[in-house]
Structure 1
Amino acid sequence: MTYNFLTLEPLSLDTVAAALARCLNVDVHEVEVADEGTDQDLRNWEALVLCEKTTVRGDVSTSLDVYVQQSVDPQPTERELASAFAWVTGAVVLFPAQEAVPSAYWAATAEGSVTRARLDVSDDDEARYTVETVEAPVAQLPRASVARIAEVVREQPIATPLAEAFAAHLNRLHPVETSATGSPFWLASDRLAAWEKLVRHMESAWASSGWCPPDLYLERLRARDELEGLLRSQLPDSVAVLLQNALDSLDALFTELTVPDPGVLREELLPADVRSSTNGWWWDRRPDPLPW
């Protein structure tokens, strides 16, 4: 398994080797750490743990690319190893998040906390790393702003089994119409996925982000508006029945997870001149508390 870490603090080869050995419960002689000055011909390429250490510039000092042989057991997750490495070395360790946003990272501290971080990498010949934002204060990053990082929530992977089954069925029966971007069939699949993402995210208590940006909540609520319009006039009966069956399940779950709303949601999300014209029943219910 491979791991990609960045540390704020500079670390020596011996420190990295000792820390990896301790975290992975292997003998330190089975850990091979090399940097730019290491003679490649003298390396132990059969070691259980191989690590490439690179010195970098900016808020970050050290880059570590770690490869752990399959024979090492257990194989920790990236989060687990980063947290253990931070605790052993006393360093702040950054590791990439799952979301497909280049700046999306997590920061693990020696005190045991793990928080999201936004990392900028310059386009200079010698890249410079800047930690712009963290979602919780990190003492070693006094210049980083402390704020929620909205862009990763949009990219957060959320399973949508009902939308996937609906799209697969349309693709089998109407492949041309379903693949045509902007067609009613394509819109039905796309908007159903957006609605399901909102309901599943709500069901998970907003994991793993812990919140939902209001503009994203509004976008996915409007997806439900569009689905209603598609049901009424733009889909053949056979497709409308399939879509309604998927919506029945999601709408029931949405109802279970929300409370009646006298207008708080509209006030939070909509300008005053359009609040009264938004009529779907899903606008009359909201999560409690609101997730932003």
Structure 2
Amino acid sequence: MNYGFWIHGELDRGRLAVALAETLALTPDKVDVGDDGDDDRDWDAPVSCTVTSVAGDLHWHLDVYVGEAVGNQPAEPLAAAWLANRLGTVVAYQALPAPPSAFYLVGPDGTRARARIYEDDDAPVVFRIDAVEQPLAALPGLPVAPIPEVIREYRMPTPVRDRLAERSPAIRDFTMRLGAWESMVARLAEGWAPDGWYPADYYREDLLIRDELAARLGSLPESVRADAAAALAEVDARFTDLTHEDGGRALTSETGPLPAGPSARWWWHRISSPLPWQGTPGR
């Protein structure tokens, strides 16, 4: 297993070796810590940590390799929190494979915040913390702001869409939009995964996708229209169960008037409680 961590501040290699050993339930002599390019390394050690200096708001990168023989291998968030506590500093790790700016920061008190961190390809590499979704006592003064771009990268299950796509591969355009609608409803069911909030403009875009589904349903070939209508009705029923009628007032208050169109577009008049955007960081 490999861990990738970034450390803020000074780094004591001896303390780092002890902290890694404790994280993995080993003794410190089982952990090799060395600088990038250092030839005097114990490559047979169960744990190898290569330390590389970086610049900007973060100062060290740790490339940690843990051999298969090591039984205790905690998940990256747990290992990061342990290191932050034992080293008394802030530890960063990547949150998603995309976008590349998606990180988490964890402080020595265990507070974790989603962060947007940009990497500049200078020499040495410069890391700049652009924003965090909640303040960190260990790094006061960081800009606190929503980081919505990670929401769409967090994939939600779409079993209804998947079944329809398998039965009716020829209506790919319809099933693609159904997947987007089902993804929003699944996100709602999970309390607005991954971070407990959803931007109002995203919510509005999803309702526009529902408009497109209504418009496209009638033009589908008759041989697949019934299956498509049943799939859409299944997702709609879940959306109805998770929302309540408010006449569109909450969305209008947040994003402006609803688009003109048939009054039968009932989905524009339903909202969840609490509001999707109620938990927006910094709001």
Q: For the Cα contact (< 8 Å) 2:7–2:90, is it kept in 1?
A: yes
> Secondary structure, in 3 states, of the residue corresponding to 1:272?
coil
**Residue 170 (structure 1) shift:** 2.9
Q: 2:175 aligns with which of 185, 189, 193?
A: 189
Structure 1 residues 2 and 278, CA, compared in 2 at 3 Å: closer, same or farther? farther
CA-to-partner distance for each residue in 1:1-54, whole Å, 9 max, x for gaps?
A: 11110011221221211110011111111111110363x2x3221211111111
1:88-237 equivalence runs, <5 A: 88-98=86-96, 100-171=98-169, 174=170, 185-232=171-218, 234-237=219-222
Aligned to 2:281: none
Q: What letter matches 1:2 in structure 2?
A: N
Structure 1 residues 114 and 123, CA, compared in 2 at 3 Å: closer, same or farther? same
Q: For the Cα contact (< 8 Å) 1:218–1:269, is it kept in 2?
A: no
CA-to-partner distance for each residue in 1:151-190, whole Å, 9 max, x for gaps?
A: 111211211122122223333xx3xxxxxxxxxx232121
Aligned to 1:33: 33
Q: What letter matches 1:110 in structure 2?
A: P
Question: Percent identical across equivalent pairs?
Answer: 38
CA-to-partner distance for each residue in 1:47-78, whole Å, 9 max, x for gaps?
A: 11111111110010110011111222232111
Q: 1:283 aligns with which of 265, 268, 275?
A: 268
| Larger helix fraction of residues | 1
Aligned to 2:16: 16
Distance in 1 (alpha carbons) for counterparts of 2:9 and 2:239: 46
Paired residue total: 277
RMSD: 1.8
Structure 2: segments with no counterpart, 5+ residues: 278-283
Q: For the Cα contact (< 8 Å) 1:57–1:129, is it kept in 2?
A: yes
CA-to-partner distance for each residue in 1:88-131, whole Å, 9 max, x for gaps?
A: 11111100012510100001111111110000111324321111
Q: What letter matches 2:143 in structure 1?
A: S
Deviates more, 1:267-276 or 1:138-147: 267-276
Aligned to 2:226: 241
Q: What letter matches 2:226 in structure 1?
A: V
Q: 2:76 aligns with which of 75, 78, 82?
A: 78
**Residue 263 (structure 1) shift:** 2.7
Aligned to 1:178: none
Aligned to 2:259: 274
Q: What letter matches 1:290 in structure 2?
A: L
Q: What letter matches 1:200 in structure 2?
A: A
Distance in 2 (alpha carbons) for counterparts of 1:16 and 1:186: 52
Aligned to 2:280: none
**Residue 246 (structure 1) shift:** 1.6
Q: For the Cα contact (< 8 Å) 2:57–2:128, is it kept in 1?
A: yes
Structure 1 residues 56 and 221, CA, compared in 2 at 3 Å: closer, same or farther? same
Aligned to 1:6: 6
Structure 1 residues 159 and 205, CA, compared in 2 at 3 Å: closer, same or farther? same
Distance in 2 (alpha carbons) for counterparts of 1:71 and 1:203: 40
Q: For the Cα contact (< 8 Å) 2:53–2:124, is it kept in 1?
A: no
> Please, what TM-score do these two structures have when normalized by structure 2?
0.92
Q: What letter matches 1:215 in structure 2?
A: D
**Residue 143 (structure 1) shift:** 4.0
CA-to-partner distance for each residue in 1:226-245, whole Å, 9 max, x for gaps?
A: 1111112x211222222222
Q: For the Cα contact (< 8 Å) 2:165–2:175, is it kept in 1?
A: yes
Q: For the Cα contact (< 8 Å) 1:53–1:64, is it kept in 2?
A: yes
> Secondary structure, in 3 states, of the residue corresponding to 2:168?
helix
Q: For the Cα contact (< 8 Å) 1:99–1:156, is it kept in 2?
A: no
**Residue 279 (structure 1) shift:** 4.1
Q: What letter matches 2:194 in structure 1?
A: S
Distance in 2 (alpha carbons) for counterparts of 1:6 and 1:49: 17
**Residue 265 (structure 1) shift:** 3.7
> Please, what TM-score do these two structures have when normalized by structure 1?
0.89
**Residue 277 (structure 1) shift:** 5.2
Moved over 6 A (4+): none
**Residue 132 (structure 1) shift:** 1.0
